[in-house]
């Protein structure tokens, strides 16, 4: 059962919510608790209706008002919650590509994990919001086989639901050869299989790879390749196997190895909040012994912490 942590609020009244937000944002001191109580306890489509009611009521844009009244990471969380999912992905990719430094990990997280439909919608949102073509921006801001693989993922042309056992062995042989030879052509064949075959097909391919080589595909990739190309290939494999586990691993890494990498934590919590954040929480606890709730509480503070914990929707026993 794949489940998020944020659901549509019952007895939802967008006009009342818009009024409360207006009051909270226009007071002498901004009432941040009110913002958290409303925006983290409504689903995305409800938040968009609140923004519409807010515009009708005050003649102003809610996102602009949040940006003006809030600061730092708390602002990023509250503003992030207001974007529709495709626009949020587009927003994150734009900043990852066009910021001072290219944020490769953000590109990996998003493009390795999204479905064809999600990629299609994200490209539309990217064009609409930034008047740029996502694939052209990837092409100009990244390089090498890392770029080729991202470009392939950004096409959103993965086969869906189709699996052919007879070609699984053949694909596994190509992957195995690509890990031995490492020529440009082999790297190309490797990423073509990982980007274009269906998840069902790749499950079989990875099994056959294990049979042929006696090695797990992730270990083989880690041994043979390095840099962002290697990280991207591994991310694709992990997402094929279990997306919640992949995101639990990315969160743990962001919290512990990168000294609480705020952008990554915020992005994953918001983007997965209505998809599989409940499962991510379970995998996190199973794998790392401590709950995600506990680790966020330990590293974040203030209203920022409260907002993240509200999205995470942990319980006291989680702590």
Looking at residue 76, which CATH number applies to its domain?
Answer: 1.10.220.10
Counting the structural domains of the chain, the total is 4
Query: Which segments are annotated as binding site for Ca(2+)?
Result: 259
208 occurs within a structural domain: yes
The whole domain housing 277 covers 243-301+312-318
5 occurs within a structural domain: no
Query: Which segments are annotated as binding site?
Result: 259
- Report the pLDDT value the prediction gives residue 316, as an integer from 0 to 100: 47
Sign of the torsion angle spanned by Cα atoms 91, 94, 99, 102: positive
Question: In the chain, which stretches have pLDDT less than 70?
Answer: 28, 258, 314-319
Whether residue 172 sits in one domain with residue 237:
yes
pTM, to two decimals: 0.93
99 occurs within a structural domain: yes
Which residue, 197, 226, 241, sits at the end of a domain? Answer: 241
For 103-124, the pLDDT digits (tens) are 899 999 999 999 999 999 999 9
- Averaged pLDDT score across all residues of the chain: 91
291 occurs within a structural domain: yes
8 occurs within a structural domain: no
């Amino acid at each position: 059962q794949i489940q998020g942590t944020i659901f549509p609020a019952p007895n939802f009244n967008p006009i009342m919510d818009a009024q409360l937000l207006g009051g909270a944002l226009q007071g002498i001191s901004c009432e941040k608790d009110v913002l958290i109580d409303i925006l983290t306890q409504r689903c995305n489509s409800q938040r968009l209706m609140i923004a519409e009611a807010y515009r009708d009521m005050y003649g102003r844009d809610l996102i602009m008002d949040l940006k003006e009244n809030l600061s730092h990471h708390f602002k990023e969380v509250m503003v992030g919650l207001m974007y529709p999912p495709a626009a949020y992905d587009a927003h994150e990719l734009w900043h990852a590509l066009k910021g001072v430094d290219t944020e490769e990990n953000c590109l990996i997280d998003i493009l390795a994990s999204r479905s064809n439909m999600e990629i299609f919608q994200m490209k539309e949102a990217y064009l609409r919001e930034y008047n740029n073509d996502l694939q052209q921006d990837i092409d100009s801001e990244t390089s090498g086989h890392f770029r080729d693989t991202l470009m392939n993922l950004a096409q959103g042309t993965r086969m869906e639901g189709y699996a052919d056992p007879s070609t699984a062995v053949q694909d596994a042989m190509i992957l195995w050869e690509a890990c031995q030879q490492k020529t440009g052509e082999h790297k190309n064949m490797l990423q073509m299989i990982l980007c274009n075959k269906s998840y069902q097909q790749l499950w079989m391919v990875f099994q056959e790879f294990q049979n042929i080589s006696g090695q797990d595909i992730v270990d083989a990739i880690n041994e043979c390749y390095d840099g962002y190309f290697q990280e991207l290939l591994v991310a694709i494999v992990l997402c094929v196997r279990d997306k919640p586990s992949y995101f639990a691993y990315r969160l743990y890494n962001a919290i512990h190895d990168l000294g609480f990498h705020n952008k990554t934590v915020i992005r994953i919590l918001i983007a997965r909040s209505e998809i599989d954040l409940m499962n991510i929480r379970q995998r996190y606890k199973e794998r790392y012994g401590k709950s995600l709730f506990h680790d966020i509480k330990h590293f974040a503070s203030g209203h920022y912490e409260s907002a993240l914990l509200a999205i995470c929707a942990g319980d006291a026993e989680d702590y």
